[in-house]
Amino acid sequence: MNYSFTASGRQIHATLVTVPELEGTFIEVETMSANADDLSAALDAVRVLLDELDVPAGEFTSELYTDAVMRHRQQGS
Side-chain half-sphere CA neighbours of 15 within 13 A:
6
**5-64 pLDDT tens trace:** 999 999 999 999 999 999 989 999 999 998 999 999 999 999 999 999 999 999 998 899
17: part of which helix (H) or strand (E)? Answer: strand 10-18
Judge contact between 42 and 10, C-beta under 8 A. Answer: yes
Judge contact between 19 and 69, C-beta under 8 A. Answer: yes
- Rounded to the nearest 5 degrees, what angle is found at the Cα of 27, between the Cα atoms of 65 and 48? 125
pTM, full prediction = 0.80
Query: So what's the pLDDT on residue 77?
Result: 57
Q: Domain spans of the chain?
A: 2-76
Judge contact between 22 and 69, C-beta under 8 A. Answer: yes
